[in-house]
Amino acid sequence: MSRLQQLKNRLAVIADVNGAASLLGWDQQIYMPAGGAAARAEQLATLGRLSHEMLTVSEIGELLEGAAAEVAGQPDAADAVCLIRVVRRDYDRARKVPPDLVAEIARATSLGMEIWVQAWKASNYSQFRPAFQRILDLHKDLARCLGFDESPYDPLLDQYEPGIKKSELVKIFADVKAGLVPLVQAISERLDRVDDAILRQKYAEQAQWDFGLEVARHVGYDFNRGRQDKSVHPFTTSFSINDVRITTRTDEQFLPTALFGTLHECGHALYEQGISQSLERTPLASGASLGIHESQSRLWENLVGRSRGFWKFFYPRLQQIFPANLAAVAQEQFYRAINRVEPSLIRVEADEVTYNLHILLRFELEGDLIEGRLDLADLPQAWNAKMTEYLGVVPTDDALGVLQDVHWSNGLIGYFPTYSLGNLISVQLFEKAQSANPSFDSQVEAGDFLSLLAWLRENIHRHGRKFLPSDLVKRASGDPLQAGPYLGYLRNKYAEIYQL
């Protein structure tokens, strides 16, 4: 048997262990009774340790060398060459971190999350600060173990967005900030131009759920290889290319929650379902990065789901389902309502325009924390100052400010910028798909998403994790990652809605 085949056999077993762990994680959020939490934590820790051990044994290093010699001369984009490159990265990375540090981080973050929940409920940042300090110190250690040239933030970011450096993000995000701050200010002076009261009435939960399923089916989510369940926080998870699950939540008093939640998760799921079957049971059978993943969810949620064309097709159907709410509401009024902008305190409730400013603030603060320019004692003040500068609103307490996200308590440092990258990339890809197909707009208006999905499959989905995110964006869109298309899209759309 070739070295490559031996390597693949081992990776398949690791993929099975990881798939089983994902299934346990899914069950934990959907069905598990509260009493099962302690046992589940042990089970997940055991599977995590097994998977880590199987990847880091020295035989994997030897097989990687042997397999690399076997594929020498094959093109860079060949599946086997990409597989060896990606596994080499994962292997080297995993071996750089001492098991003790991995265990310490797991302990500190599981404790940190519990403390954060209490601190958040009490809206008391000082209650969370010591646990956060511990998590921060451990992540500085982690960055040192992984190594870096420019910033200790880089190896942390690299876990979620391989190959991208903080200095590159600083440049791109400076453009985003320069474009967005004045746009938000201009809209803030005209907030009364758009009213979304029609979305804030009672919409029967079951009907919302059924409509979400109808839309999901329509955009191409394959229910033979997936299903939708309810959860407190919507998410997508995959145990195989052929079993990709989504969740959503409904709010009976606010129509957009379930609808756009479903479309968002559908975007993630279409990506996972579209990965080439030849990559199944390998580490390539997942998204290229969190930013690329988020580009897919935001593309379907915002560029498709909040567009006029989409509602030209779906709005009559929605009126039919909710006649008491919408029969007398014109499509244009509905379109404006779902695109209402308002600077607010909470990231997860933010609209398309203000959302990235919430992210920039977090990216800048966590960069300063990791690089030692900001002390945790000064974090709430720094947070509030940036909120005032970027969005013109100030949190009245910690729960509405610095404590609102779970990420830092969970050790997810370097994660936030991937949300904004997703937004930027979504427009680069969407505009390319649009320009490649002269009938694009009329197809969307007719509820036909097949050619858009086919373009995404061909250019993004099927590749799985074969390419670095920046290479994938370049291959698919023809251009490097940049802010221009995203800013242009927002300016055009919202200048019209708010008559700027």
CB of 347 to Zn ion, least distance (A): 13
Name which of 240 and 297 has its Cβ closer to Zn ion. Answer: 297
Query: Which class for 327: exposed (0-12), middle (13-18), buried (19 or more C-beta within 10 A)?
Result: exposed
Buried b (16+ CB within 10 A) or exposed e, 67-104: bbebbeeeeeeebbbbbbbbbbebbebbeebeeeebeb
Distance of alpha carbon 310 from alpha carbon 446, whole angstroms: 8
| Least CB distance to Zn ion at residue 171 (A) | 24
Q: Which stretch binds Zn ion (CB under 5 A): 291-299, 323-331, 365-373, 392-400?
A: 291-299
Residue 356 near Zn ion by CB under 5 A:
no
The residues annotated with a catalytic role in the active site are 265
**Residue number with CB closer to Zn ion (263 or 284):** 263
Q: Which of 200, 269, 202 is nearest to 229 (CA)?
A: 269
Q: Which tokens in the block code for residue 257? A: 């929650």
Please report, as a single letter, which amino acid is at residue 342. Answer: E
Nearest residue by C-beta to Zn ion?
Answer: 297
Backbone angles phi, psi at 245, to 5 degrees: -110, 145
> Order of strands across the sheet with 228-230?
228-230, 243-248, 236-240
Nearer to Zn ion, 228 or 297 (CB): 297
**Is residue 273 within the footprint of Zn ion (CB under 5 A)?**
no
Q: What secondary structure, in 3-state letters, does 208-261 show?
A: HHHHHHHHHHHHCCCHHHCCEEECCCCCEEEEECCEEEEEECCCCCCCHHHHHH
Distance CA 398, CA 124 (A): 6
- What's the min distance (Å) between Cβ of 285 and Zn ion? 19
How many residues are present in the chain? 500
Choose one: 60-68, 289-297, 345-353, 426-434; the region binding Zn ion (CB under 5 A): 289-297
* 22, 273, 297, 339: residue in contact with Zn ion (rule CB under 5 A): 297
Residue 418 sits in the site that holds Zn ion (CB under 5 A): no
Q: What are the two backbone dihedrals, phi and then psi, of residue 229, each rounded to the nearest 5 degrees?
A: -125, 175
Residue placing its CB nearer to Zn ion in the complex, 84 or 215: 215
Residue position matching structure tokens 């250690």: 141
| Among the residue ranges 92-100, 295-303, 321-329, 395-403, the one whose residues contact Zn ion (CB under 5 A) | 295-303
What is the closest distance, in whole angstroms, from the C-beta atom of residue 300 to Zn ion in the complex?
10
Q: Which amino acid is at 396?
A: T
Query: Looking only at residues 421 through 460 of this chain, which bind Zn ion when binding is defined by CB under 5 A?
Result: none
**Burial annotation 47-61 (CB, 10 A radius, 16+ → b, else e):** beebbeebbbeeebe
Number of residues that bind Zn ion (CB under 5 A): 1
With CB under 5 A as the contact rule, which of the stretches 241-249, 294-302, 409-417, 447-455 interacts with Zn ion? 294-302
Q: For residues 266 and 318, which CB has a smaller minimum distance to Zn ion in the complex?
A: 266
Binding segment (CB under 5 A) for Zn ion, from list 15-23, 120-128, 249-257, 290-298:
290-298
Instruction: Pick between residue 247 and residue 297 the one whose CB is nearest to Zn ion.
Output: 297
Tell the smallest beta-carbon distance from residue 302 to Zn ion (Å): 11
List the one residue out of 373, 371, 395, 392 whose CA is nearest residue 383.
395
Distance CA 471, CA 294 (A): 16
Q: Which is nearer to Zn ion, 301 or 364 (CB)?
A: 301
CB of 271 to Zn ion, least distance (A): 10
- In the complex, minimum distance from the CB of residue 260 to Zn ion, in angstroms, rounded to a whole number: 11
Binding site for Zn ion (CB under 5 A): 297
